[in-house]
Amino acid sequence: MGQGAGTYALLLTLDKEATIAVGKLGTFSFPAGYYLYIGSARGGLFHRVRRHLQREKKLRWHIDYLRQWADVIEVWYSLSEESRECSWCHAAAAMPQAQIPSPGFGSSDCRCRSHLIYYPSPPSFELFGAKLGDDRVTEIRRSSAGYRAL
């Protein structure tokens, strides 16, 4: 795939509750369930996502710490030169049962409360697209079983 810019969401699952030290952000209790982590890349979107999919790596970003415990089950993404990271976070936070388990997670460079949203049951990709509420919904793709092809 190309080296384009874009926005992505990793849908993760955590089998059991874990207390995790997240770099300088602090230590948080993460309940078992599902998480959406939202990020963006100005170039090399698929390279960035592939890095997040690896477990063995230098711990650089907040998501790297959670990835030591949680599995990625889907990747939602959109190729665009425009960063939509914060609007995706607002849409994810507006979904049913959404909770913020770790304020500041992944959002040190913006005013969002967090770029990690927790759900006790799997969030709906279709509802997420509807929450974005614009014509760009058709640009969002998701990859599950073949996400490693990204």
Q: Which DSSP category does 133 fall into?
A: -
In a domain, 109, yes or no: yes
Q: Please name every residue paired with 87 in a beta bridge, in sequence order, or none if there are none.
A: none
- Specify the number of domains making up the chain: 1
Question: pLDDT by residue (tens digit) across 27-83?
Answer: 999 999 999 999 998 888 888 888 888 888 889 899 999 999 999 998 888 888 887
Global pTM reads: 0.88
Parallel/antiparallel/unpaired status of strands 6-14 and 33-41: antiparallel
Residue 119 DSSP SS3: strand
In a domain, 1, yes or no: no
pLDDT at 140 over 80: no
Domain that holds residue 118: 6-144
Residue 15 DSSP SS3: coil
**If you average pLDDT over every residue of the chain, what do you get?**
86
3-state SS, one letter per residue, for 49-108: HHHHHCCCCCCCCHHHHHHCCCEEEEEEEEECCCCCHHHHHHHHHCCCCCECCCCCCCCC
In a domain, 83, yes or no: yes
